[in-house]
Structure formats: structure tokens, C-alpha cells
Amino acid sequence: MMPKQKYKLKIEYDGTDFAGWQVQPGKRTVQGEIEAMLSVLFQENCQLTASGRTDSGVHALGQVAHFTATQPRTEYQIRQGLNSLLADDINIRQVEKAADDFHARFDAVRRHYKYQIIRGNSAIRRRYAWCLPGDLDTNAMQQCADIITGEHDFRSFCSTGAEVSH
């Protein structure tokens, strides 16, 4: 039996035309698209585990995921191969070999979210910002931003019994 190798991917995608990250029967998802192309590239089923899941229409600039494969490939071959097979709304930015104990979700130490709100319509930015008609109450927005800015303890959102080290 061939030894298994774990790989870490850094993925960028435009989530507009996806039903989110996670595989859903009959729907186009980011995970589903990448896993399908990993199967072509490696000639085996490769299950992708991400640092987190995104909802329908959500974009990512640096989503981290990992998979394990038995067929040997270089990082360059994986990146170039996947990018040549995937549609233009997904890009594999980086591939590196990972330690056997690496886990994209459990080893993630931070996540960064950016929300854009613009006044009026925009033909260009409509896919990447929330376009609102009329005036925005910037004072109310600043008060809300002050509340959520900074580091927060989200352990209450973890599953029961989960050990959180960061």
C-alpha cells in the first residue's frame, strides 16, 4: 500500500454562483467542485476538509482546506492541475505538504471577515458588497462596529465538550 500524503490548500473563490462551501446533492458547491477535480487529478476519491464553511454567495480570499492522497504529486502539479481543471470562479492560490496531524478546521487560529456596504447600486461591486438605496445612518453603524470590533470569546458557539486552546 502506498503511503498517504496530506496536503494543505489555500483557496480563493467567488461564491456568487455557489450554494455555499459544503457538498449538497444536486447543487454546485465549492467543496464539490474541488473534490471532483481532485478525483480527476489523483484518480482516487479525496475528501476535502475546510477551516470553515461559507454560505451561498459568500466569497473567500484565503480559505484553508486539507486532503489526503496516496498518488504522489508535487505541490506545483496539484496547483497547476487543479487550476487548469476548475472553473474561473475558484483559484487554488497555494499548495503545500502538511503534517499528518494537521487539521484545517481545528488548527485555525483566526478568521478574518470583511463586510462591504455601499450606498446605491453598482454594476461592478454588486457581487461583492451590500448595495443599499438611500442614506446610511453612519452614527448607528459606528456604534454597532464599536461593539463587535476586537477579540471575542466564541466558545459558547462550540459543540458541547469541545476543547478550545485558542
Write out the H or E segment, with its range, that includes residue 146: helix 138-148
Q: Residue 15 gets which letter from DSSP?
A: G
Summarize pLDDT for 86-132 with one digit per residue, the tens. 999 999 999 999 999 999 999 998 888 888 888 888 898 888 888 88
Residue 165 pLDDT greater than 60, yes or no: no
- Which domains occur in the chain, in start order? 5-98 (3.30.70.580), 117-152 (no CATH)
Determine contact, residues 73/94, Cβ cutoff 8 Å: no
Cell digits for 23? Answer: 457538498
Q: How long a stretch of residues is the chain?
A: 166
Q: Of 55, 100, 135, 146, which is the active-site residue?
A: 55
The whole-angstrom separation of Cα 32 and Cα 47 is 9
pTM score of the predicted model:
0.81
C-alpha to C-alpha distances, 121 to 17, 59, 125, nearest whole angstrom: 20, 19, 8
Per residue, the 3-state secondary structure of 87-105, as one string, reads: CCCEEEEEEEEECCCCCCC
What is the per-residue pLDDT for 27?
98
Is residue 55 annotated as part of the catalytic site, yes or no?
A: yes
